[in-house]
């Protein structure tokens, strides 16, 4: 379809009906700028606007699509049926395209969500103990941790020990991958059972002691065997 011919045709028919661009736009529920673009040959109406536009101008769909009136005495029915069928197919294709786009977007969001959650379930085995402090009640201990690696963040930890005398902490990455800080934190409160004597960090298939309770004084002390720790680290100041 020639855009210039189409634009000139609908402009001429509109004027025959003594209708302004604004009046035509209101009938079609579009802007007058859209009508102006059509008439200047800068674009075509949306596929769903073709039939309302033809009705508004007193034309058949085929006349509008051909940008010319049917000859006097010549039926336009067959041509109209063909055009309407083409419009119907185009409308179905458009709906199918929109549906496929929505399905694709939903799949992308689902995959991103699974990836975000999945990365947040990855354990970190390069966590070191930076500082600690025992709660005044003695039934919990606050630890501040860091990562030996230069990338990534910790978001959570969990006691996975089955021994009541030992706390074995497993640490988890932040959501969203190696450089994401979604949910990141580095200070955790660790509940202590009455008989607990040792705090250990998980190291892959093994574990490493970080804090141990002195049997004589009852005080918690750092176990100085962590290759990730620094001599400048110690207890929180009370």
92, 115, 133: which is the final residue of a domain? 92
Angle between helices 50-57 and 77-120 (to 10 degrees): 150
- Pair (142, 188) in one structural domain: yes
- Pair (46, 140) in one structural domain: no
131 sits in which H/E element:
strand 127-134
Assign residue 57 a region: left if phi > 0, alpha if psi is -120 to 50, beta otherwise? alpha
**What total of structural domains would you count in the chain?**
2
- Pair (155, 87) in one structural domain: no
What integer is the mean pLDDT of 209-238?
72
More confident residue, 149 or 154: 154
pLDDT score at 237: 42
pLDDT score at 160: 93
Tell me, yes or no, whether 106 lies in a domain: no
pTM of the predicted model, to two decimals?
A: 0.54
- Mean pLDDT taken over the chain: 83
pLDDT score at 180: 81
Tell me, yes or no, whether 23 lies in a domain: yes
More confident residue, 26 or 226: 26
- Estimate to the nearest angstrom the gap between the alpha carbon of 229 and the chain centroid: 37
92, 111, 133: which is the final residue of a domain? 92
What integer is the mean pLDDT of 134-152?
88
Identify the residue whose tokens are 């085995």: 125
Question: Residue 4: is its pLDDT beyond 80?
Answer: yes
pLDDT score at 68: 86
Q: Phi first, then psi: what are they for 32, rounded to 5°?
A: -65, -25
pLDDT score at 201: 95
% of the chain residues with pLDDT over 90: 44
Rounded Cα distance, 95 and 23, in Å = 29
Q: Which CATH number do you get for residue 56?
A: 1.10.260.40
Confidence of residue 82 (pLDDT cuts 50, 70, 90): low
- Pair (87, 133) in one structural domain: no
Question: Residue 144: is its pLDDT beyond 90?
Answer: yes
More confident residue, 57 or 76: 57
Q: Confirm if 87 and 61 have CB atoms less than 8 A apart.
A: yes
Confidence of residue 16 (pLDDT cuts 50, 70, 90): very high
Full domain range(s) for residue 163: 123-235
Tell me, yes or no, whether 114 lies in a domain: no
Tell me, yes or no, whether 111 lies in a domain: no
């Amino acid at each position: 379809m020639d855009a210039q011919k189409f634009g000139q045709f609908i402009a001429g028919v509109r004027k025959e009906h003594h209708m302004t661009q604004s009046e035509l736009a209101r009938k079609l529920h579009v802007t007058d700028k859209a009508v102006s673009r059509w008439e200047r040959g800068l674009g075509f109406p949306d596929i769903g606007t073709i039939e309302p536009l033809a009705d508004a101008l007193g034309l058949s769909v085929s006349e509008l699509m051909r940008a010319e009136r049917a000859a006097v005495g010549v039926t336009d029915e067959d041509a109209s049926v063909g055009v309407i069928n083409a419009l119907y197919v185009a409308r179905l294709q458009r709906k199918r395209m929109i549906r496929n786009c929505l399905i694709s977007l939903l799949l992308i969001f689902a995959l991103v969500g699974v990836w975000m959650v999945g990365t947040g379930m990855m354990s970190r085995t390069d966590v070191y103990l930076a500082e600690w402090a025992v709660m005044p009640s003695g039934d919990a201990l606050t630890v501040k941790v860091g990562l030996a690696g230069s990338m990534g963040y910790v978001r959570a930890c969990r006691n996975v020990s089955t021994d009541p005398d030992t706390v074995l902490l497993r640490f988890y990455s932040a959501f969203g991958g190696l450089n994401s800080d979604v949910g990141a934190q580095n200070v955790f409160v660790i509940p202590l059972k009455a008989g607990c004597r040792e705090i250990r960090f998980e190291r892959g298939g093994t574990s490493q002691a970080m804090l141990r309770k002195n049997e004589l004084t009852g005080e918690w002390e750092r176990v100085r065997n962590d290759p990730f720790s620094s001599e400048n680290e110690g207890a929180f100041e009370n």
